[in-house]
Chains A and B, each alone.
Chain A
Amino acid sequence: MTQGRRPAPGRPRSTSRAPRKRSLRGASLLRLRVGFVLIAMVVSVFGARLFQLQGIDAQAYAAKAEANQATGLVTHTLPATRGSIVDRTGMPLAESVDGKMITADPTMTHDHAQEIAKVLAGRLDIDYFETLDKLRQTDTQFRYIARRVPAAQANDVMAELEARGLEGIATDPDPVRDYPAHDVAANLLGFLGTDGKPLAGFERLFNAMLDGADGSATYETGAGNRIPLGDNSVIPPQAGEDLMLTIDRDVQWYTQRVLRQAVQASGGESGAAVVMDSRTGEVLALADHPTFDANKPLVSPESDLGSRALYDVYEPGSVQKVLTAASLIDAGKVTPETEIVVPPELPRSDRVIHDYWDHGRLRLTLTGVIAKSSNIGTVLAADEFSPKELHSYLAGFGLGKKSGVGIPGEAAGLLPPWRDWSQLRQDTISFGQGVSVNALQMATAVNTIANGGVLIEPSLVKGSATTKKGKVVGSATTDARRVISEQAAQMTTEMMEAVTDPEEGTAPAAAIEGYRVAGKTGTAQRVGEDCGCYDGTFTVSFAGFAPADDPRFLVYVVVQDPKNGGGGGSIGGPAFHKIMTYLLQKYAVPPTGSAPPDTPLEW
């Protein structure tokens, strides 16, 4: 090698080549080896560490990760907001609010129970001593302190506890369903169970629509914060749709209060009232009494949790006389002036038909028969009909069939098939005994007269909505059909105006100063629940609409089993008057200013 550095003269370059190459190769080899060893050392350190982490300590780390919930992959549900139920003006009847449940770990709260209970009882609507007991239990680590607390309130409580350094109280999501107007329309809305599942009413019927789909979020966190660029996936929740009813909250409230007063003042067992927009069939109020507070359904008896106006049937009584009379006029058999001789009593088959008041031989026009609500007169007029004709008219008015409002469970009522009618049967049916209806059905039938002879199916849902059985219901899908001619409807209306006549009619209390009001009272014998026969109790009712020459609203009030001896005119009439007055005022319907007809009642 030394020779390489001392090349012979003349060939210096050629000789120097080989030795240099060799030295280069030697150096790189050495470097390679050193490098390899270094890399091997580093890699083996890695390998050892890997083995330590994965093989030896794996369990410990997994446990540690699990213990620290703020770190690692987190999945939590994003609860969907349940749709609201609003009235026709958009005012909420039922809405969902973020809520929290407040829970305690008594093992941690035991020592500071008094202080904690003081804070909790001061800020929440709970009992101090009960809470104290719960906080002092020794056999459990979990107790509910309060459920469905609005989130803001729960946050305040937690903030105060934290500020005072008190531990052992925790919160969890617990959505609240709030019914801001309490018992207003509760009979229609229904309620949710403690687990958030709908148990009754529209909450259950339209659950598929109101209930959204929960979403979920999955992401990695470190110390409570989301790790950027970490695994994450979000399925956004689908909020439920809102449901708009045709109900007007204010009208519903007023109707419920008037109805309550009417039922309580008369000592009645229960009552129902229906307020309908005559032209569209939209139900502005459907009230029941007794009813319940939708926020606290469990404190009311189970029998009050539904809607008697929809689910219960009764015999309508004299209100039906207007249907019979309208049918007779439409068929051309009678006019409002038709003269009828009304005897004191009328023997038919083996029975004798009476009027509710004693009278001698009366010479009444058909208008007089309606105004005074004479059974005998109606029976005599209805003699013009064969059973088949009367049946087909009454079926046309919707009796014996569901009203078409689309609420499952609605009672269909009963209109016996005409082939089974005896003479007596036809007689009683003509004045409303021996048939049964629900309140909404009867309101719809009478509204046919208010709406110029065209029956409009009632609706409770504004627009349209799909029930859980997939049926589309609502004001957008209602059908209308002509039952009687417009002229017959107008004649019947004029007859009904005589009912509110201050001297001659049966319901002077229903009259409204300055307005033309058409109506009809009803006082029916009632079938008792125990014996299944007429037990001497009554159903009193009043159906009417105003203004008579251009009807806007129909109001129907029914009170079951009043005990003060009142009839449709004295119990239903004042209630009708109050509700109709309110409606005319609220919707700004001025009097039409036309003069009422002057049809003679007697001849």
Chain B
Amino acid sequence: MSTLMTQARNRVPRFAEAAVERARLTVVPRRATRAPKVPFVALVSLLLVGGVVGLLLFNTSMQQASFVATELEATAATLNAKEQALQMQLDTLRDPQKVASRARKLGMVPAASPAFIRLSDGKILGNPTVADPADAMRIAPLPTQKPKNLRPDPVILELPPVKTAKKKADTTPADAGNGPAEGTKKQHTSAASGE
């Protein structure tokens, strides 16, 4: 189709050809302002790579920190437990009962009467007296008593006087008296401990 039109146009008589030729409008060619591509590409790839690597490093370091945190938490818990154990040990040593019983082992007793030295003039206030073992007091509890069913009443056997020993009994009354006396003694002691 375009060939036909060209032919038709060519058949048209030409006048003022030069002027027409001059008047024909043409599109000014676009100026190819080609900016250098390399820096841009470099910049973008740098950003991309940098971002990715940065993110990766950041993530890794966070992960690393998390590991460290877990580890430190465990250490803190252990140390805390250890501190508490030591504190408990200290408390046990500070227990007044413990201190007192150790002082007791060293032979110490509470002072019988308080006395002081006034530092300003060296005067003695109160009547200092020497402590003696009588000032000691029992600090340990009494030993636990056995329950009643483990402490049977003493069995008292009343034996009829032995006839054949009549002569003997006459000669040694102390021996004959020994048996019953021991029995009553036993009874007494058990009654006393029962209180």
Report A's interface with B, CB cutoff 8 A: 3, 8, 13, 15, 91-92, 95, 97-98, 150-153, 155, 178, 180-182, 184, 224-229, 249-250, 253-254, 257-258, 260-261, 264, 267, 512-515, 563, 578, 581-582, 584-585, 588-591, 593
Contact = CB atoms under 8 A, between A and B. Distances in A.
A228 B66 contact: yes
B116 A150 contact: no
Contacts of B85: 150-153
B3 to A, nearest CB: 8
9 contacts: A92-B91, A150-B85, A155-B78, A155-B81, A181-B96, A228-B62, A514-B125, A515-B126, A581-B111
Nearest to A592: B125
A591 B91 contact: no
A584 B66 CA distance: 59
B140 to A, nearest CB: 9
Given A181-B95, A226-B69, A249-B96, A591 B125 contact: yes
Given A181-B96, A182-B97, A513-B113, A578 B137 contact: yes
Contact of B88 (A8, A178, A512, A593): A178
A150 B87 CA distance: 11
A514 B65 contact: no
A153 B110 CA distance: 37
Given A8-B6, A150-B81, A250-B96, A225 B70 contact: yes
B53 interface: no
Contact of A593 (B62, B78, B125): B125
Nearest to B96: A253
Contacts of B129: 513
B139 interface: yes
Contact of A590 (B59, B88, B97, B116): B116
Contacts of A258: 137
B30 to A, nearest CB: 12
A299 to B, nearest CB: 11
Interface in B99-141: 100, 110-116, 118, 125-127, 129, 137-139, 141
Contact of B95 (A152, A182, A578): A182
A582 B63 CA distance: 62
A320 to B, nearest CB: 29
Nearest to B142: A264
B94 interface: yes
Contacts of A578: 110, 137
Contact of A151 (B84, B94, B97, B113): B84
B27 interface: yes
Nearest to B115: A514
A582 B27 contact: no
B92 A180 contact: yes
B157 to A, nearest CB: 31
Nearest to A228: B62
B158 interface: no
Interface in B54-95: 59, 62-63, 65-67, 69-70, 77-78, 80-82, 84-85, 87-88, 91-92, 94-95
A514 B2 CA distance: 143
B125 A590 contact: yes
Nearest to A258: B137
A91 B115 CA distance: 27
B149 interface: no
A82 B12 CA distance: 112
B170 interface: no
Given A13-B26, A184-B96, A591-B126, 4 more contacts: A150-B85, A228-B59, A254-B96, A578-B110
A548 to B, nearest CB: 15
Contacts of A91: 94
Contacts of B82: 152
Contact of A98 (B26, B80, B100, B141): B80
A150 B77 CA distance: 12
B97 A584 contact: no
Contacts of A563: 195
A296 to B, nearest CB: 13
Contact of A150 (B84, B97, B127): B84
B136 to A, nearest CB: 10
